[in-house]
């Protein structure tokens, strides 16, 4: 706003009469000073800054978020432990288990104490990271590929494709994971070679409908956008439109849910292992450790506490990362 | 009552009795929004006041702060905002009030009419319930009494059947009826101040004219002060006594309607007024006096205009029509094949599940010759967009024949090879520039995609073509690598035009390409479009609801209503001698951005409606 003295008041006869803003009421014809309200060229260029894609924008807002920084550091640490377990403990995990150390407290070289079998807890927790993370990572990958593909096809083509795929998904959705897993594990194929990969297959088989639903909803939303119609009208084939125009724009919610479900798959692995239908007892995993520490819960609670803590922190980091991603990828949903 | 302030000529304000202070006084009002831990100003140091019975129009383009500043009057801004300054409502400061006191004021002393009545009314309650609720919230009255008053209100807003409207849910009413119902709700407690935030923007032009009439009547009946927030200069000319022009959070000019329209001082006000398309305005001799033309076509006399004067104007209009027709006749019909030909075309939206097929267009006949610009005008639901989409092959033709560049496409399947071949000759520009570009692709890629797919160009050749297209739409070449969200609305629409031009189409279908843009940007885009059309000579089907825009571009106008073409002809025939009653009503409903001419037009419209009823 201009200073009172610089404001120009023009009466009907276009004779400028200087008036101050406060004393004259009503202000008849006020005109702001052009110097203070300059006109810029209409519809002009924004700036000379480098172009930034939406992914770039998301990354910029992401890296400023404390939630993202904390969870990313934790996840990187967990991955590092899984890749190089030898750096964190000098003890081999399954040897040197002496029954005389059973349920022993912390001792020199064994800072977290011993399990009921007399194994070093730290070594077991460190080596257990590998299987937990592998299961979580590959189950998520499988779910995203299978669920994403089915959801995208169902959403994009609609009609009978959608009807069939959606029903199949619903059938799997209706089966409780644990019940289904108990039945599937009894199959001879799974009985004979139970390992990390059989567990991944089971988790993917029961986990894909969730991602399929999310992808389907996101694809339907994007499918009707004008730019897809525009692409179609300019000669892009249906599949081309799906791959190039629809999927990149439907990816954000899928990424968020996939990150969160990575955490839940790790929990599922532990749950199944705890129930004895997950990883075989000779594979080191947090779930198996929690299971084997159960009888000595009162006498040696630390044996269950440490693998439990590792599990909680890992899962929590993935869920936090998912939340941070959601904020960055979908700015509209951000809390005010 | 309020008569002394209406019209607002000269210095009336100065000799007002001191006792009649303004209803609303705004002093040094500033509004900021906290974004990423920084204060971004939305309104800066605003000063204005509104008296009882007066309409103050706050005009501005998007982002000018007109809505944010007005919502701050009621404390209706989101929590990340900061308001400073002073707002006096009947002499009492609003900004310092307690939340409880503020709630009392909302709806009681101040009421708001929102832009979109469908979202502002709660869809799970009946209209009557919502009005009764408001009434009983602010008055201690019995349910019966409240119902009686609600019915009176619905009657006051001229709803055809108040009883039925009372029992209806919002979705059961038409757009105009919903807006009336919302106005009734906002009037329920005789507000002293009414804030109307773009009250007619979501409505069709004929409905808009009715709502404006209603608001004018209510103003004199209720003697409340009205703050009208709008971007539409025609609406302003129709209703406003005083005008405040806002830009980038500041008021750049205030004055009476007369002063702003007749004698704009600030450069921006002038630019804004110049950018508003004026129905009937051409360069010099193309000027059409639409009011006179309508008067002639319907044999109406106007009180506001001297009889002889009107006669002279009518004669003038008709003489020019004869000239124009003579000129067309001397050219003869073009001896070339049309680029688009519709013969008795019906278009259906195919049935989906249990929803039956919907016939959106019926018996349409239309021919577009090379280089011709045809304006397809109609209100929402008239089928204009449907025809546009069918011409691009996005919708199947249910009956009749639709020929694009000589090929009959009515039998083709939606994804057939033949259709793809025809599509190469047709470009399409969409309404919303933000949603018609893939947000994940750099714009160069969006523009280049059709050429790449059609095998027209690859590699360096493709890059050269993209640069040439960016040059044509007057965007810097460096923009090739930018993403849509980095561009303004007008720039995005330029990209949309470049993409539509990429295959050098013979026919361009433009579906409301400027209706999502601000006036000044719209003017630029229209100018660009016009230049490109002249330069490249493509034929164009320009679909729009805005007659004034069509008038700028089209040499041939086609008016649609409820799936049928009711009238088509050259621009001169339609504007100078409209024959169909609907065309006449449509023309009469377009508000003119000039208070004086709009007064004539209003009277004419009232006459027209009484005749046709």
Cα-Cα-Cα-Cα dihedral of B412, B413, B417, B420, to 10°?
80
Q: Extract the tokens encoding B344.
A: 């008795």
- List the beta strands (DSSP E) in B474-579: 507-511, 539-544, 556-561, 564-570
Closest approach of chain B CAs to the CA of A201, in angstroms? 33
Counting other chains too, the contacts that A170-173 makes at CB distance below 8 Å and 24 or more residues apart are A170/A209, A172/A205, A172/A206, A172/A208, A172/A209, A173/A209, A173/A210, A173/A213
pLDDT at A331: 62
Closest CA to A210 of A179, A181, A176, A173: A173
A299: tokens are 């006498």
Mutate to test the interface with A, among B10, B254, B268 (most CBs of A within 10 A): B254
| Average pLDDT over all residues of chain B | 83
**CA distances for B361 relative to B85, B367, B403, B554, B562, angstroms:** 55, 16, 16, 22, 8
Please count the residue pairs, one from chain A and one from chain B, whose beta carbons lie less than 8 angstroms apart: 163
**What pLDDT was estimated at residue A17?**
38
Residue range A42-96, pLDDT digits in tens: 555 555 667 777 888 888 888 888 889 999 999 999 999 988 887 877 777 666 6
Closest CA to A29 of B598, B9, B224: B9
Q: What is the pLDDT, as a whole number, of residue B22? A: 85
Cβ separation B259–A52 shorter than 8 A: no
**B384–chain A nearest CA distance, Å:** 17
Q: From CA B516, how far away is CA B519, in angstroms rounded? A: 9
B542 by DSSP, 3-state: which?
Answer: strand
- Residue numbers in chain B where pLDDT is lower than 70: 1-20, 282-286, 326-334, 353, 414-415, 612-613
What the block records as the tokens of A181 is 């897993």
Phi/psi zone of residue A70: left (φ > 0), alpha (ψ -120 to 50 degrees), beta?
alpha
CB proximity list for A280: less than 8 A, separation 6 or greater: A194, A195
- Separation in Å, CA of B115 to nearest CA in chain A: 21
Instruction: Give residue A48's pLDDT.
Output: 60
A46/B486 touch (CB, cutoff 8 Å), yes or no: yes
- Alpha carbon of A160: minimum distance to chain B alpha carbons (Å): 11
Nearest neighbour of A51 by CB, restricted to B13, B247, B486: B486
Distance between CA atoms of A251 and A152, rounded to whole angstroms? Answer: 10
Residue B517 makes CB contacts below 8 A (sequence gap 6+) with B433, B489, B490, B493, B525
> What residues of chain A lie within 8 A of the CB of B256, using their CB?
28-29
**Taking the C-alpha atoms of B474, B480, B486 and B490 in order, what is their torsion angle to the nearest 10 degrees?**
20
What residue ranges of chain A have pLDDT lower than 50?
A: 1-27, 335-336
| A226:B431 CB<8 A | yes
pLDDT at B327: 66
Determine which of B79, B255, B262 to mutate to test the interface with A (most A C-beta atoms within 10 Å): B255
- Tell me if the bond preceding A26 is cis, omega within 30° of 0: yes
Of B45, B268, B420, the CB nearest to A39: B268
CA dist A171 and A167 (Å) reads 6
d(CA B194, CA B187) in angstroms, rounded, equals 8
Flag whether residue B263 sits within 8 Å of chain A, measured between CB atoms: yes
Sole residue written with tokens 């129930």:
A275
From the list B253, B424, B485, the residue facing A32 with the nearest CB is B253
Contacts of A237 in chain B (CB under 8 A): 415
CA A228, distance to chain mean position in Å, is 27
Contact yes or no for A209/A149 (Cβ under 8 A): no
Domains of chain A: 1-36 (no CATH), 54-333 (1.10.3720.10)
Query: According to the model, what pLDDT value does residue A41 have?
Result: 54
Q: What is the pLDDT of residue B72?
A: 87
Angstrom distance (rounded) from CA B109 to CA B97: 14
pTM as predicted = 0.79
Element at B132 (helix H, strand E): helix B127-138
Q: Which residues of B touch A30 (CB under 8 A)?
A: 251, 253-255
Q: Please, is B609 exposed, middle or buried when counting C-beta atoms within 10 Å of its C-beta (0-12, 13-18, 19+)? A: middle
The pairing of beta strand B397-404 with beta strand B407-408: antiparallel
Strand order in the sheet with B193-197: A16-17, A8-10, A30-31, B250-256, B242-247, B55-59, B225-230, B193-197, B110-113
Q: Which of residues 200-259 of B touch A (CB under 8 A)?
A: 247-248, 250-256, 258-259
Instruction: Please tell me which residue of chain B has the smallest CA distance to A42.
Output: B521
DSSP structure class, residue B486: G
CB atoms within 10 A of CB B143: 10
Give the H or E element holding residue B253: strand B250-256
Contact criterion met (CB below 8 Å) for A148 and A242:
no
CA-CA-CA-CA dihedral for A87, A89, A93, A96, to nearest 10: 130
Contact A225 B44 (CB under 8 A): no
Residue B295 has what pLDDT?
A: 80
CA nearest to B115, candidates B149, B81, B161, B70:
B70
Q: Report yes or no: A310 and A121 within 8 Å, Cβ to Cβ.
A: no
Whether the CB of B334 is below 8 Å from some CB of chain A: the reply is no
pLDDT at B452: 87
Strand order of the β-sheet with B564-570 is B426-429, B507-511, B539-544, B373-378, B556-561, B564-570
Task: List strands edge to edge, sheet with B92-93.
Answer: B38-50, B24-35, B81-89, B92-93
Give CA A221 to chain center in angstroms. 21
CB of B418 less than 8 A from some CB of A: no
The verdict on a CB contact (< 8 Å) between B47 and A1 is yes
Long-range contacts of B280-288 (CB under 8 A, 24+ apart): B280/B551, B280/B575, B281/B551, B282/B551, B285/B320, B288/B317, B288/B320, B288/B572, B288/B575, B288/B576
Instruction: Calculate ∠ Cα A101-A102-A105, nearest 5°.
Output: 70
CB neighbours of residue B239 within 10 Å? 24
- For chain B, list the domains and their CATH numbers: 110-190 (no CATH), 340-434+445-579 (3.40.50.300)
Instruction: List phi, psi (to 5°) of A294.
Output: -60, -45
Question: In the structure, how many helices (H) and strands (E) does chain A have?
Answer: 12, 3
User: B4, B449, B478, B480: which to substitute to probe chain A, counting the most A Cβ within 10 Å?
Assistant: B449
Contact yes or no for B360/B382 (Cβ under 8 A): no
């Amino acid at each position: 706003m201009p200073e009172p003295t610089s404001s120009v008041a023009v009466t009907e006869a276009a004779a400028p009469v200087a008036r101050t803003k406060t004393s004259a009421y009503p202000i008849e014809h006020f005109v702001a000073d052009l110097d203070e309200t300059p006109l810029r060229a209409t519809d002009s260029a924004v700036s000379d800054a480098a172009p930034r894609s939406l992914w770039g924008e998301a990354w910029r807002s992401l890296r400023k978020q404390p939630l993202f920084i904390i969870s990313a550091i934790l996840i990187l640490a967990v991955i590092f432990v899984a890749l190089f377990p030898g750096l964190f403990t000098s003890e081999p995990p399954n040897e040197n288990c002496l029954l005389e150390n059973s349920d022993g407290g912390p001792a020199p070289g064994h800072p977290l104490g011993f399990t009921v079998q007399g194994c070093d807890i730290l070594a077991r927790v460190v080596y257990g990271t590998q299987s937990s993370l592998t299961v979580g990572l590959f189950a998520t990958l499988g779910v995203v590929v299978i669920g994403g593909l089915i959801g995208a096809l169902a959403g994009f083509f609609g009609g009978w494709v959608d009807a069939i795929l959606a029903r199949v998904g619903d059938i799997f959705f209706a089966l409780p994971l644990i019940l289904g897993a108990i039945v599937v594990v009894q199959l001879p194929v799974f009985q004979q070679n139970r390992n990390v990969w059989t567990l991944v297959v089971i988790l993917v088989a029961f986990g894909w409908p969730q991602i399929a639903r999310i992808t389907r909803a996101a694809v339907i939303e994007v499918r009707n956008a004008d730019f897809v119609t525009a692409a179609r009208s300019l000669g892009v084939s249906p599949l081309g439109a799906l791959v190039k125009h629809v999927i990149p724009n439907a990816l954000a919610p899928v990424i968020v849910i996939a990150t969160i479900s990575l955490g839940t798959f790790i929990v599922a692995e532990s749950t199944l292992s705890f129930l004895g239908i997950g990883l075989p007892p000779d594979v080191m995993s947090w779930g198996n450790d929690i299971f084997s520490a159960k009888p000595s819960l009162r006498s040696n609670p630390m044996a269950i506490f440490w693998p439990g803590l590792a599990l909680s922190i890992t899962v929590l980091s993935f869920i936090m990362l998912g939340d941070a991603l959601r904020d960055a990828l979908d700015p509209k949903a951000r809390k005010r | 009552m309020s008569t002394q302030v209406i019209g607002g000529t000269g210095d009336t304000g100065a000799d007002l009795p001191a006792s009649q202070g303004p209803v609303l006084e705004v002093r040094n009002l500033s509004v900021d929004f906290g974004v990423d831990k920084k204060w971004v100003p939305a309104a800066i140091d605003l000063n204005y006041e509104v008296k009882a019975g007066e309409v103050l129009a706050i005009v501005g383009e998007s982002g000018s702060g007109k809505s944010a500043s007005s919502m701050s009057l009621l404390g209706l801004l989101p929590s990340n905002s900061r308001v400073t300054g002073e707002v006096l409502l009947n002499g009492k400061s609003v900004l310092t009030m307690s939340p409880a006191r503020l709630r009392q004021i909302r709806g009681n002393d101040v009421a708001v009419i929102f832009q979109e009545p469908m979202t502002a009314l709660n869809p799970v309650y009946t209209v009557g319930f919502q009005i009764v609720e408001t009434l009983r919230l602010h008055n201690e009255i019995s349910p019966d009494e409240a119902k009686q008053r609600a019915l009176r209100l619905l009657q006051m807003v001229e709803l055809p059947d108040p009883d039925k409207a009372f029992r209806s849910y919002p979705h059961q009413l038409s757009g105009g009826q919903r807006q009336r119902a919302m106005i009734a709700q906002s009037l329920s407690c005789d507000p002293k101040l009414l804030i109307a935030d773009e009250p007619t923007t979501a409505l069709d032009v004929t409905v808009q004219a009715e709502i404006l009439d209603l608001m004018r009547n209510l103003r004199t009946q209720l003697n409340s002060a009205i703050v009208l927030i709008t971007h539409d200069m025609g609406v302003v000319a129709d209703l406003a006594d005083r005008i405040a022009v806002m830009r980038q959070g500041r008021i750049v000019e205030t004055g009476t309607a007369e002063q702003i329209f007749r004698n704009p001082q600030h450069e921006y006000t002038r630019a804004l007024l110049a950018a508003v398309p004026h129905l009937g305005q051409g360069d010099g001799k193309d000027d059409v006096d639409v009011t006179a033309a309508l008067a002639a076509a319907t044999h109406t006399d106007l009180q506001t205009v001297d009889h002889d004067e009107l006669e002279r104007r009518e004669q003038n209009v008709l003489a020019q029509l004869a000239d124009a027709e003579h000129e067309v006749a001397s050219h003869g019909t073009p001896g070339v094949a049309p680029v688009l030909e519709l013969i008795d075309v019906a278009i259906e939206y195919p049935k989906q599940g249990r929803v039956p097929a919907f016939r959106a267009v019926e018996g349409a006949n239309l021919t577009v010759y090379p280089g011709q610009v045809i304006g397809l005008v109609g209100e929402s639901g008239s089928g204009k967009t449907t025809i546009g989409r069918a011409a691009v092959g996005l919708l199947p033709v249910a009956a009749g024949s639709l020929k694009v560049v000589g090929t009959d496409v009515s039998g083709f399947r939606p994804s057939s090879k033949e259709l793809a071949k025809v599509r190469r000759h047709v470009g399409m520009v969409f309404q919303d520039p933000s949603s018609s570009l893939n947000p994940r692709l750099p714009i160069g890629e969006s523009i280049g995609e059709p050429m790449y797919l059609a095998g027209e160009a690859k590699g360096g050749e493709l890059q050269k073509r993209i640069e040439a297209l960016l040059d044509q739409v007057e965007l810097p070449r460096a923009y090739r690598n930018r993403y849509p969200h980095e561009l303004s609305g007008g720039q995005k629409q330029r990209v949309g035009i470049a993409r539509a031009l990429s295959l050098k189409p013979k026919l361009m279908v433009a579906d409301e390409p400027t209706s999502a843009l601000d006036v000044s940007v719209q003017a630029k885009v229209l100018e660009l479009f016009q230049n490109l059309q002249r330069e490249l000579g493509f034929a164009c089907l320009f679909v729009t609801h805005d007659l004034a825009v069509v008038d700028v571009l089209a040499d041939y106008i086609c008016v649609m209503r409820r799936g049928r073409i009711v009238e088509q002809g050259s621009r001169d025939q339609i504007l100078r001698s409209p024959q169909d009653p609907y065309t006449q009503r449509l023309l009469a409903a377009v508000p003119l951005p000039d208070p004086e001419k709009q007064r004539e037009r209003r009277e004419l419209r009232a006459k027209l409606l009484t005749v046709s009823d």
